[in-house]
Structure 1
C-alpha cells in the first residue's frame, strides 16, 4: 500500500475498483430484476374515484358512542362547549355594542333586565353563571395538570368531581348575588 502511494497510483486503483463494482451491480440488475408491475397515468377524476373506493373498504375506528361515558371526556367536551359559549356571548355583545352603542349601553341593559320577572332573572343568571363557573374551575384543574398534579386516573376523577361540586356551589352563590 505504501508503494502505490509513493508512486501516486492509489486513487487510480480505487477508481478502477469502484468502477468494476458498479458495472457488476448493473449487470446483475439487468439479469435478475424485472419489473412485474406496470403503471399508467390516470386523469384526476379516475384517480379520485379509485381513492374513494379504497376509502370505503377501510375499517372505521370505533365511534365514541359505543363507549361508556367517562368523566374525563365529558369534562373535556363540556370545557370546550362552555368556552365557545362564553366567547360567543362576549363577542356577540361586543359586536352588538359596536353596531348600536346607544341601544346596548349599560343603562339600557340594566333597565331591560330590571323589567323582567324574577324567575326569568334567576334563570338567566343560572344560564350565565354555570358555564362561567365550570370553565373557570376546570381551567384551574388544567393548570394543576400542567404543574404535574392530579395526573393519575384517580387524581383525574377526584379533581373532576371536585370541579363539578365547586361548580354547583359557585353557580348557586353567583345566582343568589
Structure 2
C-alpha cells in the first residue's frame, strides 16, 4: 500500500513539473513507477512521421476500408419483432415530422403563391373525392400516426424500467401491431 502511494505521488509530481514526460510515462505505468521512485530517468523513443498530401491520405484510407470485414448481420440473424418495430418507429417518426414541416411551411407561404390551403378549401376538395380514395388516404395517414403513438407509449413504459423482459417486449410489440391495425382501420372508416 505504501509503495503504491509513493508511486502515485511521484507520478503526480512528475505530471505537475513536466507534463510531456508524464504523458509518456503513463503508457508505461508499471515500469515507470519503480524508475521514478529510484530516481532514474525514462528513455523515450521519438516518433517519426512523414508529411503526405490530403489526396494520398484519402487513398490510404480507401485501401484500408477495402480490407475491413463487413458484418453479415442482416443476412445471418433471424428477423425479430423488437428490431423491426424499432426501425418502423424511426421511419414513422421521420415521416410524421417531415409531413408536418412540409405542410406547415406550405401553409405559411400559401397566401404568397395564391394556394388555397385553408380548411374550407381542403375540406371541399377532400369531400369531392370518391369514398375509396378517402378511406385509403385516411388509412395512409392514420397508420404512421397510431403506430408511432402506441409504440411511443411502449417506450415510455420502458423508460420507467418496466416491461423490459424479452417475452414482455415481444408481447407488447404484437399488441402495438394489433392496436395500430384496429385503430387505423377505425379512423379510416370514419366518414
Deviates more, 1:52-61 or 1:74-83: 52-61
Greater relative CO, 1 or 2 (CA 8 Å, sep 6+): 1
Distance 1:38 1:83 in 2: 50
- 1:74 aligned partner: 84
CA pair 112-154 structure 1, distance change in 2 beyond 3 A: same
TM-score normalized by structure 1?
Answer: 0.76
Q: Residue by residue, what CA displacement relative to the aligned partner does 1:45-92 show, whole Å, maximum 9, x if unpaired? A: 222222221221121222424422111111011111111111122222
1:94 deviation in Å?
1.1
Residue by residue over 1:5-60, the C-alpha shift from the partner in whole angstroms, topping out at 9 and shown as x without a partner, is: xxxxxxxxxxxxx9x944xx47xx5xxx988x964332332222222212211212
Match among 68, 74, 93 for residue 58 of structure 1? 68
Shift of 1:143: 0.5
Q: Which residue of 1 aligns with 2:24?
A: none
Larger Rg: 1
1:168 matched to which residue of 2?
A: 181
- For 1:105-124, list aligned pairs within 5 A: 105-124=118-137
In the superposition, the TM-score normalised over structure 2's length comes to 0.70
Partner residue of 2:161? 148
Q: Which shows bigger deviation, 85-94 or 43-52? A: 43-52
Match status 1:89 vs 2:87: no
Runs (5+) with no aligned partner, structure 2: 1-35
**1:93-104 alignment, distance < 5 Å:** 93-101=103-111, 103-104=116-117
RMSD: 2.4
Number of aligned residue pairs: 151
CA gap 1:99/1:39 in 2 versus in 1, 3 angstroms: closer
- 1:133 CA displacement: 0.7
| Residue of structure 2 in register with 1:159 after alignment | 172
Q: Hey, what's the Cα distance between the residues in 2 that align with 1:99 and 1:34?
A: 66
